[in-house]
């Protein structure tokens, strides 16, 4: 029952109806949510066509980077007490959005050579990326008390910085 309520809360956060202030400030809940994020990411990677490289290690780097990024950011803006709720909300809403994002990725991969269906598949994927950024920015807006444009920019910056770190660490030397 508790897991269902938690997923419902994360769903409400993903739908932009609730925020990190509605998440209990619990270290155990953060750990459980991060483990859930890792598990759903593992499941998604298992269902999609084979991924090249050490994706499990890349996922661990992504998780640690995200935790570190928001711990430093919240300390920098003098709101470290909001870390547990913010980080839990950030990992939690991504658990909810992972299945539709995985489906969109699968569609794009399936229709790469089919011009009729590729554009709609890409449009769906783009819509989900925009939704992911909007939900993440809304969480940051509540946590940091920043404007929405600044929160969107920070969400995009964190995503790009994380991707660059993974590419730097795991790209084969050319």
Residues 6+ apart with CB under 8 A from 129: 101
Domain limits, the chain: 2-170
Helix ranges, 17-170 (H): 27-47, 55-76, 83-110, 115-144, 148-170
Q: Global pTM? A: 0.91
Q: Structure tokens of 1? A: 């029952």
Residues 6+ apart with CB under 8 A from 62: 162, 166
pLDDT by residue for the chain (174 residues), tens digit each?
A: 488 999 999 999 999 999 999 999 999 999 999 999 999 988 887 777 666 668 889 899 999 999 999 999 999 999 999 999 999 999 999 999 998 988 888 888 888 888 889 889 999 999 999 999 999 999 999 999 999 999 999 999 999 999 999 999 988 765
Residues 6+ apart with CB under 8 A from 46: none
Q: Structure tokens of 36? A: 């859930």
Which region holds residue 58: left if phi is over 0, alpha if psi is between -120 and 50, else beta?
A: alpha
- Cα(12)–Cα(163) distance, integer angstroms: 27
């Amino acid at each position: 029952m508790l897991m269902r309520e938690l997923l419902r809360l994360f769903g409400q956060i993903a739908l932009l109806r609730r925020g990190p202030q509605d998440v209990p400030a619990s270290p155990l809940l953060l750990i459980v949510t991060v483990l859930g994020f890792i598990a759903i990411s593992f499941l998604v990677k298992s269902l999609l066509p084979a991924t090249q490289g050490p994706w499990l290690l890349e996922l661990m780097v992504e998780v640690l980077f995200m935790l570190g990024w928001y711990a430093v950011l919240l300390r920098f803006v003098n709101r470290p007490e909001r870390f547990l709720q913010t980080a839990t909300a950030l990992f939690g809403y991504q658990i909810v959005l992972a299945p539709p994002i995985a489906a969109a990725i699968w569609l794009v991969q399936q229709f790469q050579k089919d011009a009729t269906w590729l554009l709609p598949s890409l449009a769906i994927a783009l819509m989900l990326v925009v939704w992911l950024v909007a939900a993440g920015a809304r969480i940051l807006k509540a946590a940091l008390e920043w404007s929405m444009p600044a929160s969107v920019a920070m969400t995009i910056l964190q995503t790009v910085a994380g991707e660059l770190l993974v590419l730097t660490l795991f790209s084969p030397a050319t």
